[in-house]
Amino acid sequence: MRGQIFELSVTVALGPIDCAAMAEAFGEEHESTYGHRAGPEEPVELVNVELIGQGLPERSRIPERLQMAEATVVCGERKAYFGMDHGWITTPVIGRSDLTDGVDGPAIIEEYDATCLIPPGAQADVDVHGNIVIRL
Q: pLDDT below 50 — which residues of the chain?
A: 1-3
Q: Where are the domains of the chain?
A: 1-54, 74-135
Please give the model's pTM, rounded to 2 decimal places: 0.50
Long-range contacts from 41-48, C-beta under 8 angstroms, 24+ separation:
42/3, 44/1, 44/2, 44/3, 45/1, 45/2, 46/1, 46/22, 47/1, 47/2, 47/7, 48/7
How confident is the model over 27-45, as pLDDT tens digits? 888 889 888 888 878 888 8
